Amino acid sequence: MKKNLFSLSAMYLRFLLRFVKNFFVSIYNNFSKPKKFSKENNLNLLVISTGGVATTTLISYLKLYKKVNDENDIDGYKHLSKFPKLESVDLKIVYIYGTYQKIYNSLKRRNIFQTQMVKLGCPLCYIFWGTIEKFFFKFCIKKQINSFKNKKNVYVLHFDNIWESKEELKNFLEIDNYDFVKNFPKKK
The predicted pLDDT at position 134 comes to 94
| Rounded distance between C-alpha atoms, residue 75 and residue 92, angstroms | 17
Burial class of residue 73 (count of CB atoms within 10 Å of its CB; 0-12, 13-18, 19+):
middle
Whether the per-residue pLDDT at 169 is higher than 80: the answer is yes
**Mean pLDDT over the full length of the chain:** 88
The predicted pLDDT at position 127 comes to 82
The predicted pLDDT at position 125 comes to 86
Across 101-119, average pLDDT: 91
| Rounded distance between C-alpha atoms, residue 121 and residue 176, angstroms | 37
pLDDT tier for residue 68 given thresholds of 50, 70 and 90: very high
Q: What is the pTM of this model?
A: 0.86
Across 3-18, average pLDDT: 79
User: pLDDT for 151-163, tens place per residue?
Assistant: 888 999 999 998 9
Across 52-65, average pLDDT: 92
Domain boundaries defined on the chain: 2-182
